[in-house]
Structure 1
């Protein structure tokens, strides 16, 4: 068994360089399959989910070479679109290979998406969007196939906002015949990042970052160099670490406007946030106070922020509430926090946090990426030692997180089954 040992921490202080975005990278890597020449990507984080993409890429013939900070992706020897169901089911974003491979191979076979354990995440918007372009789906026990002899542009109205479906349909539409218009599209910065890469490759995409995206199909895509945008979700978590411990943390390599909703809530809770061109400093100079948080789709407060925010709000004076409109059942972390003494109540898909609780270390389990960081932040504020299992979830999204936190003054150790320190 592998676990983290987290001890009570003094206020965290220092500077952290934010890595490339996990969610962007998981879309950009499959997107390179669309090209007819090699692509160079910079600033890709070397995390567990990316390693899984590498495994799938090797199976289908997408060559990936690492040279210093660059990944060189060569799609010229792609050999098939049959993706191992077990590998596909190990992480959610595997379904991007459908949109990326369908034009070249006419048929993609893939397992059902897996990933975080906090409730069912349907792919109905993916299915309806790709069907509108001409795809046909056949479902089996442990995998499904998607077929299209020819993809044709269409007007697609997403019934509900879906980041994943927006990505998948963009990937399929860039080489579809004719024009495609996406209505009620996701507006996340990572969607813009994908469009920027594809446009560098020769695609014609307009409106990314708004709720209406226009795509004119092209016949070929060329080589380019692209740098992945910084991970706003990791940046937000470090700001909340400063808030939870009463410290001062400066983030480098960050886009402040991508964290506008997060910064607004942190200031409302009493944090001091100072933004530069590509930096943010978060600090605490007085008592934090309770606030009400509603997580939604971008540009609203992100669902991936609500878990570390919950850990921070335990240290606030006064009651706080957290509602998640994207994944109403995403409160497994609260049950684990209660083992430390948080006394959070779940009422009608709302977490009620009493605030200023005295936490005491205990054994807890991370069930998804952000829950893991939430428990880590709670452990830093708990008396004694907190032991966190399920750390593979943290490793899915955070590169060098132990090194980064210890550089800020945290006392964190990784142990494996034979109790040796890592």
Structure 2
């Protein structure tokens, strides 16, 4: 596919890096220095200019493009880019926005702004915060097959019941597949004799009930996030509180700015909004923030979110979740004790990338900063899996692949060596990013 990306920030770069091997990619950006740097770091065509300019889009190859992705940091610019592209061609357009109100306007008027698909960064991030907060010990959680299948990534404590056991010994959960381990800088695709070590990060795929059972056993945190405190009424903080409200929670939200605190209090009837500085330890102690199950740091800077998370951890909070804008900080945050670091731009890139795959790819989840992916694919009649049991069929797949689950007619099937895949099945697969395109073509 010929893809034009407007905006070479973290989202644009992440998408381009994911697509460069299998697609023809052109990036447009106003920053000449950024364009020059990308020329040497990625195998893409770069153009210095304004993506809202139709002539610049034509220079980028608009007439032959199958997809235009507008992912600058300005919502209005992204809408204009899509409108300009749509006015000249019938190309599929994707716009990244931060404001949920713009998303709701687009949803209420099909085809508005010339946008075929709109991705709301803040809403995606809030939804991720909710999913992860509800599963003890999880670093990443995604759902597949309409909620029938779940993927989750957990740290294994040294005193976990499955530490120092082989996958075969630990595999006593219903409807669960052990997909991979991340150990230091190494990625290990699991086999029956793979030994799980304390300190490993493990990826499991299975039914929601089995994932919950696994989480309860391997982690020492409470079963549910009943007491939730959100620090910062940023748009992400506001949307996260709204997400918790919609699922029956009554979160507390701390916001220092008087006008913003009053505004969100009026919009969130089931959220207790407290006007205070969240770095005030006396306030935190007085309000018993240390007794919370989860504290979400959603302030306007990475440094503030790190500070608040460390304070919450020191007070005894069971779990800390911090929003980070700089993806390079994610590993640092988790190294110093933050339980989960969520990068809004990574969440956005993940959502957009699935539109660039084959028509059969239904869902995509990126792991460990795109070292691997879990994907959902509808199996066609020509798939290498069809008509054979999995043990035989996987011999024709490259190393680095695990079939984690199968959805057939609304039924969850746990794949085993003797399981046969049928046309129309949805398979959920863990894939090493290095062989992703080959695997998608074969399946």
Q: Which is bigger in relative contact order (C-alpha 8 A, separation at least 6)? A: 1
TM-score, length of structure 1 as denominator length: 0.28
TM-score, length of structure 2 as denominator length: 0.27
